[in-house]
Amino acid sequence: MLFLQYHNCDDCNMSKKTTANIKLKDLFSKEQCKKVEAAFMRNFQMSLEITDIEGREVRSFCSPKCHPAFCKRIRTSKTGLHRCRQDRLRSLNISIETGQPYITVCHAGIVLGCVPIMESDLPLGGLFFGKSAWEPFDEDIESDIQKRLQGLRFGAGDIRNALRKLPVISARRIHEAAEFLYILFYQNTDLDPQVIQWRRQRSMQQSRISEVIQETKLLDSTETYPYELECQLIAKVKIGDRTGAKEILNSLLGRILFNNPGNINLLKARLVELLSVLSRAAAMGGVDINILLNKNLIYINKVLTINTQEDICIWISHALDEFIESVYTSQDAKKMQQLKPAVEFMQTNYEHPLMLPDIAKAVHLSVSRLAHLFREQMGVTVVDYLTNIRINHAKRMLLTTDNNCTRICYEVGYNNQSYFTRVFKQITGLTPRQFRNQNKRK
């Protein structure tokens, strides 16, 4: 797997120096562009405006009606045209930096979507679409738009008539169009989307980590390192559960960053330790230890050369992918793959009163075979694993809902509150009520 270096804002700074000699028509054809436009119009009834990196229209690539009457009216003013271009430059900067579509409300008060155009790490321009209203116009919206247009000499009647002709498109539909166009464009051109996809993954990961940090603020814990999450991550790596492992990794990173905000050296130290943990997990999953030692040395050297928090986080996620891929190809991969359906079944059905025979039947294994594989590969019993899933969900519900303990007991799969309380206390050291009172902020 190729690990891409982060390109900071200077790389997508709309610099004439990097893009002056590159034209969009040199990188994809008018025919390719028309194919994208036709498919987009067919599915979403929206036209496309294509600009270069400086926010200037490339008219030969634009749809014939890329500007509705309202936009045309605004652009007849020199000031209006300047504001439109500034909107595009701003949207280009954000979409290229994050590697994903960007949707905003333009200076004139209507929706504007942007999909970035990049060739590898080189920013080239953008696809603009969705010039519409979120909701039907009324007096309040019209008044807001009139205020936005102060300084532009237009008659109120002209603006009102143009506004009434704009399509009304829901926010959900605009977001669906953005995702569709993003995929459609890169599938139908010869541009290399590798860097932009990496940036998008980085942005999505940082969004999830931010959510974890906000959730962690609800806790009043003195724990400096989430060893419980580390153990869960090891279990996911051992069975080759890529999706589950990434979710836990992001939670782990969020907790580390919450406890040590802005301390990149400590983050590096924690991740060097984590790489060793992942190596051991992969070894337990059947991967040759000599292969892992070589990988680990490369990974550790790599971590030490990265100097931004965001890049370290996405890089460790890619390293996790490689560890899991190693497990998949190991000699014990078949055993781990037999366990994966059982793990997934428990994760999606924990709220039901499951017994060991129920789980074995669902994954087409005998009870003895399932119990043996689980103990051998996971180091815990099936019942213990299911119990941990239930208690973790109960802890989250105690902190994020106002449901009483009895209701939570039933919602996580127990039918006896006394037994639920006893199990909860065995694992956490507190009763459910004590856990809520001690950890939930007033």
> Would you say residue 12 has pLDDT above 50?
no
Burial of 261 (0-12, 13-18, 19+ CB in 10 A): exposed
Distant-in-sequence, close-in-space partners of 195: CB < 8 Å, separation ≥ 6: 4, 7, 99, 118, 120, 121
Contact (Cβ atoms closer than 8 angstroms) between residue 225 and residue 270: yes
> Would you say residue 39 has pLDDT above 90?
yes
Contact (Cβ atoms closer than 8 angstroms) between residue 166 and residue 136: no
Over residues 196-248, the pLDDT tens digits come to 777 888 888 888 888 888 887 776 665 667 778 888 888 888 777 778 888 88
Strand runs labelled E in 87-132: 102-105, 111-119, 122-132
CA-derived radius of gyration, the chain: 27
| Single-letter amino acid, residue 181 | L
Whole-number Å distance between alpha carbons of 339 and 427: 24
0.85 cut: is pTM over it? no
> Would you say residue 258 has pLDDT above 50?
yes
Predicted confidence at residue 10, as pLDDT, reads: 40
| 353-361: average pLDDT | 89
Closest by CA to 129, choosing from 118, 149, 115, 147, is 115
CA 85, 89, 92, 98 torsion: positive or negative?
negative
Distant-in-sequence, close-in-space partners of 341: CB < 8 Å, separation ≥ 6: 362, 363
Closest by CA to 163, choosing from 129, 195, 187, 140, is 140
